[in-house]
Chains A and B, each alone.
Chain A
Amino acid sequence: EPEVTQTPSHQVTQMGQEVILRCVPISNHLYFYWYRQILGQKVEFLVSFYNNEISEKSEIFDDQFSVERPDGSNFTLKIRSTKLEDSAMYFCASSEGSSPWEQYFGPGTRLTVT
């Protein structure tokens, strides 16, 4: 069964460094998402992406964040200058279409900022 994959599973970085989290969505899906979960808190929506542009973003998704689909298979989340509060589990998801299509999630990347 097709699945969303994410790399790395765990990333440790120093405050102020740039990180890129990678995701490979399901191949025929057209909508892509990033969510995050800070330890002990709710899973929060960050951004959705369709047709090579952001379709929706939350207030969390500020200028420090960017997303890109650099080729036909990868979908990346970049954090330009990481802060301690960016430490979280980051989930990528994809879907064939917008609502009400089901979103399929990857296993997550745990980002630790020290």
Chain B
Amino acid sequence: GNSVTQMEGPVTLSEEAFLTINCTYTATGYPSLFWYVQYPGEGLQLLLKATKADDKGSNKGFEATYRKETTSFHLEKGSVQVSDSAVYFCALRTGTASKLTFGTGTRLQVTL
């Protein structure tokens, strides 16, 4: 079956630090890969996605590259801000199925 493994949090960084949140997956077929973000008190929001190998998803300074050879989709940002503090979820979807398979989420705390 499908599964997603994320690095455990919380991750605490100072503002302007470099961020990496690791995500690896196991899937049948060729999945689409997603990063969702959940800010306090809000729902999960799609941050970025990639639908095929070597695609790079990007949004709001965040990037992730679909690496089929390492089955990974690590989230990166060059310079985090306090407003990036949230929980980040890696997820995948395969074929025409609509259900998403998520990781456990990684809490990011950015301090001044």
A35 vs B36: C-alpha distance in the bound complex, in angstroms? 14
Please state if B98 and A41 are interface contacts (CB–CB under 8 Å): no
Please state if A48 and B4 are interface contacts (CB–CB under 8 Å): no
Name 10 extra pairs, CB < 8 A, besides A43-B91, A99-B96, A106-B43: A3-B43, A35-B100, A41-B104, A42-B104, A45-B101, A99-B95, A100-B93, A104-B43, A105-B36, A108-B43
Please state if B98 and A56 are interface contacts (CB–CB under 8 Å): yes
Q: How large is the interface on A (under 10, 10 to 19, 20 to 34, 35 or more residues)?
A: 20 to 34
> Shortest CB–CB separation between residue B98 and chain A, in angstroms?
5
Asked if B82 lies at the interface with its beta carbon under 8 angstroms from chain A, I say no
Residues of chain B at the chain A interface (Cβ within 8 Å) = 4, 32, 36, 41-46, 51, 89, 91, 93, 95-105
Please state if B98 and A98 are interface contacts (CB–CB under 8 Å): yes
A-B contact count (CB 8 A): 63
Residues of chain A at the chain B interface (Cβ within 8 Å) = 3-4, 31, 33, 35, 37, 40-45, 48, 55-56, 58, 91, 93, 95, 98-100, 102-108
> Shortest CB–CB separation between residue B53 and chain A, in angstroms?
16
Q: Given A40-B104, A99-B93, A100-B51, verify A45-B99 contact (CB < 8 Å).
A: yes
